[in-house]
């Protein structure tokens, strides 16, 4: 095989002309299946019989659906036979052209590596010439084809241009990622064990970049005492212990936080032309999410030590904090020993606690509160109430809790929520979500009239509008307590609901809250649970580890809060 650059370029040009002379091929696949009926007298049982039936299935892509067509060759369908011949020829030409291109790039690289010092400029010039030659040849063939038949397949042209530029870019990156051996006075590095790691050799590894696969060569250091190796260049380039560049990992994180991991792999293939595996998308997204979790823990620890950042700015008229919880399906090992909702059955979910912080500056003509646009930030994790309390306190402080003129916390009445409020937000106005309170009142109505819908609705109409909505909770508590029943289970349920209203009486003064133009519902966090958790963590067939779920939650919250780019800036600055 010839190795000189001129011969290789001539060969590539011929192959490209061959390829462009073929028929217009659309994305799809053709597979062959030899049909064997089992009869000894049939043509399909005879070797090399011209009438042997070989069925070919063609999958053609179209915008709406994929069309499957079957045809037979060689004798009975001459037209399809030509298409099959065109397909096999194009596949062979494309393979040979790709191989020839690789040899050309290797030739340029090897010739440039033979020189050192000032000759590195020649290497850059060779790369520039390779990119220009690649694009120019492709454009010449495109214009020649358009002049020949008067049409241009724009999709095919732009796809070919992207592939050519990616290949040239990967070659350029490979040149930039060739690091020389360190100087004589820089051949040792401090090791964590207290000794020094000595320079050993130049080692290389593949790196998947946003323009395709590249090759990195860099110095390797090894400590003779603890036998731990170091690659300082990997740390500087942010590719330590990974074969994906920062740009590719950012893409994987973005698709991993928005869609199922396999869908993310498909998106990267279609939109960026990158071939990655489903597992790599999952591992990368969870690794980045876990890194965000660790950074958040450090910030929480600072908050506990009262080392909080000084938040300056204009006073905030009204600042809200809302909290809620929802179940996330997890693997069996993370539910071991936990009781499920049904007595006697194990748990299949773990409660993910979530919170949001938002502001309000105005209200409508009827006096109802209006949330400020694009002001909501989220946080959440599968953790204990104590740990979550520290998390939501840190988020509220970052949003300006100390500058808020009026502070409001809204929840559904769960005991853990109000325990956290007493510990972290004692000076806040506390409101039980009106719609949860109505659900509890409906539960009383169901106990009283389980099979009489008309009476149930009539009872609700009176007690909801006249008592609950008007904040007359003391009178409302007296209603269930005055009910006399011989059914012990009903009596217990009604008593539980009465205790609920009595405990949260001061948090249900809804007319008072409305006069202050405050929200009285927790719809923001209810929707947030669906946005942050449900759309990604609770799809059909999903089961998470607690660590994986928390990593994706941190990643999604960072993205929804507009802090994803800040995270990457912090990585670059570190």
As a whole number of angstroms, the distance between CA 267 and CA 132 comes to: 29
Residue 52, pLDDT above cutoff 50? no
Structure tokens at 449: 């009239």
Portion of the chain with pLDDT greater than 90, in percent: 50
Do residues 175 and 168 make contact, with C-beta atoms less than 8 angstroms apart?
A: no
Q: Which residues of 79-98 are buried (b: 16+ CB within 10 A; e: fewer)?
A: ebbebbeebeebeebbebbe
As a whole number of angstroms, the distance between CA 391 and CA 423 comes to: 13
The pLDDT of 185-194, averaged and rounded, is 91
Instruction: Check residues 206 and 36 and name the one with the higher pLDDT.
Output: 206
Give the list of residues 6+ apart from residue 241 with CB closer than 8 angstroms, or none. Answer: 234
Residue 419, pLDDT above cutoff 80? yes
Average pLDDT, the chain: 81
Q: Euclidean distance between the first and final Cα of the chain, in Å?
A: 48
Q: What integer pLDDT is reported at residue 104 of this predicted model?
A: 55
Q: What is the DSSP string of 307-323?
A: ------SSPEEEEEEEE
pLDDT digits (tens, 9 = 90+) for 490-536: 999 999 999 999 999 999 999 999 999 999 999 999 988 888 888 88
Do residues 430 and 421 make contact, with C-beta atoms less than 8 angstroms apart?
A: yes
As a whole number of angstroms, the distance between CA 504 and CA 477 comes to: 11
Q: What integer pLDDT is reported at residue 533 of this predicted model?
A: 85
To the question of pTM greater than 0.85 for the whole model, the response is no
The pLDDT of 85-112, averaged and rounded, is 57
Q: In this structure, what DSSP letter does residue 48 have?
A: T
* Angle in degrees, 0-180, between the axes of helices 120-149 and 78-113, rounded to the nearest 10: 160
Least confident of 251-255, 276-280, 339-343: 339-343
- Out of 35-39, 89-93, 101-105, 493-497, the most confident range is 493-497
Q: What integer pLDDT is reported at residue 42 of this predicted model?
A: 62
Neighbours of 112 (CB within 10 A): 19
Instruction: Check residues 566 and 11 and name the one with the higher pLDDT.
Output: 566
Q: In this structure, what DSSP letter does residue 372 have?
A: P
pLDDT digits (tens, 9 = 90+) for 194-224: 899 999 999 999 999 999 999 999 999 999 9
Least confident of 97-111, 208-222, 397-411: 97-111
Structure tokens at 540: 């059909």
pLDDT band at 148 (very low <50, low <70, confident <90, very high): confident
Q: What integer pLDDT is reported at residue 310 of this predicted model?
A: 62
3-state DSSP helix/strand/coil % of the chain, to nearest 5: 55, 20, 25
Q: What is the 3-state secondary structure (H, E, C) of 437-498?
A: HHHHHHHHHHHHCCCCHHHHHHHHHHHHHHHHCCCCHHHHHHHHHCCCCCCHHHHHHHHHHH
Q: In this structure, what DSSP letter does residue 117 have?
A: G
Residue 108: C-alpha distances to residues 129, 144, 164, 165, 480 (Å): 10, 28, 16, 16, 87
Strand order, beta sheet including 54-61: 28-34, 54-61, 66-73
Least confident of 151-165, 248-262, 356-370, 400-414: 151-165
Q: Which residues of 499-523 are buried (b: 16+ CB within 10 A; e: fewer)?
A: ebbeebbebbbbeebbeeebbbebe
Q: What integer pLDDT is reported at residue 73 of this predicted model?
A: 42
Residue 479, pLDDT above cutoff 60? yes
pLDDT band at 151 (very low <50, low <70, confident <90, very high): confident
Residue 232, pLDDT above cutoff 90? yes
Domains of the chain, by residue range, sit at 5-151, 257-308+554-574, 309-433+521-543, 435-515
Portion of the chain with pLDDT greater than 70, in percent: 76
Residue 62, pLDDT above cutoff 60? no
As a whole number of angstroms, the distance between CA 432 and CA 473 comes to: 12
Residue 516: C-alpha distances to residues 243, 425, 468 (Å): 57, 19, 18
Q: Is CATH 3.30.70 correct for 309-433+521-543? A: no
């Amino acid at each position: 095989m010839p190795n000189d650059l001129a011969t290789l370029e001539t060969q590539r040009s011929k192959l490209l002309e061959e390829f462009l002379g073929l028929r217009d091929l659309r994305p799809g696949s053709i597979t062959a299946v030899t049909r064997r009926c089992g009869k000894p007298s049939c043509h399909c049982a005879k070797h090399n019989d011209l009438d042997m039936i070989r069925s070919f299935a063609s999958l053609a892509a179209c915008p709406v659906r994929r069309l499957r067509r079957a045809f037979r060759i060689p004798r009975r369908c001459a037209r399809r036979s030509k298409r099959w011949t065109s397909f096999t020829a194009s596949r062979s030409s494309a393979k040979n052209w790709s191989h020839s291109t690789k040899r050309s790039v290797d030739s340029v690289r090897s010739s440039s590596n033979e020189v050192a010092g000032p000759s590195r400029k020649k290497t850059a010039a060779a790369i520039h010439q390779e990119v220009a030659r690649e694009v120019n040849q492709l454009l010449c063939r495109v214009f020649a084809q358009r002049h020949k038949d008067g049409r241009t397949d724009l999709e095919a042209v732009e796809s070919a241009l992207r592939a050519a530029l990616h290949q040239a870019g990967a070659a350029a990156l490979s040149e930039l990622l060739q690091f020389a051996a360190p100087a004589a006075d820089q051949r040792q590095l401090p090791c964590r064990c207290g000794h020094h790691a000595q320079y050993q050799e130049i080692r290389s590894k593949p790196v998947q970049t946003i323009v395709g696969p590249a090759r990195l060569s860099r110095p390797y250091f090894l400590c003779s005492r603890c036998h731990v190796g170091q690659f300082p260049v990997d740390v500087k380039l942010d590719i330590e212990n990974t074969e994906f560049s920062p740009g590719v990992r950012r893409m994987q994180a973005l698709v991993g936080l928005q869609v199922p991991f396999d869908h993310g792999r498909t998106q990267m293939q279609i939109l960026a032309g990158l071939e990655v595996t489903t597992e790599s998308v999952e591992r990368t997204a969870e690794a980045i999410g876990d890194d965000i979790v660790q950074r958040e823990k450090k910030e929480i620890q600072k908050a506990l030590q009262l080392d909080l950042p000084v938040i300056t700015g204009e006073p905030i008229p009204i600042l809200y904090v809302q909290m809620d919880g929802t179940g996330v399906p997890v693997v069996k090992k993370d539910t071991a020993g936990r009781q499920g909702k049904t007595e006697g059955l194990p748990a299949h979910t773990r409660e993910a606690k979530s919170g949001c912080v938002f502001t309000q500056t105005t209200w409508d003509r009827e006096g109802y509160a209006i949330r400020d646009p694009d002001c909501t930030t989220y946080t959440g994790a599968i953790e204990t109430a104590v740990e979550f309390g520290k998390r939501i306190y840190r988020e509220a402080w970052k949003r300006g809790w100390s500058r808020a003129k009026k502070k409001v916390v809204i929840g559904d009445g769960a005991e853990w929520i109000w325990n956290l409020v007493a510990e972290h937000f004692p000076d806040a106005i506390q409101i039980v979500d009106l719609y949860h309170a109505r659900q509890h009142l409906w539960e009383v109505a169901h106990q009283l009239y389980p099979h009489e819908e008309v009476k149930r609705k009539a009872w609700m109409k009176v007690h909801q509008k006249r008592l609950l909505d008007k904040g007359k909770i003391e009178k409302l508590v007296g209603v269930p307590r005055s009910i006399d029943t011989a059914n012990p289970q009903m009596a217990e349920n009604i008593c539980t609901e009465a205790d609920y209203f009595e405990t949260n009486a001061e948090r249900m003064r809804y007319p008072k809250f409305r006069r202050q133009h405050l929200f009285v519902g927790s719809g923001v966090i209810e929707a947030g649970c669906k946005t942050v958790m449900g759309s990604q963590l609770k799809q059909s067939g999903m089961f998470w580890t607690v660590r994986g779920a928390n990593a994706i939650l941190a990643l999604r919250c960072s993205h929804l809060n507009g802090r994803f780019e800040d995270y990457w800036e912090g990585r670059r600055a570190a």
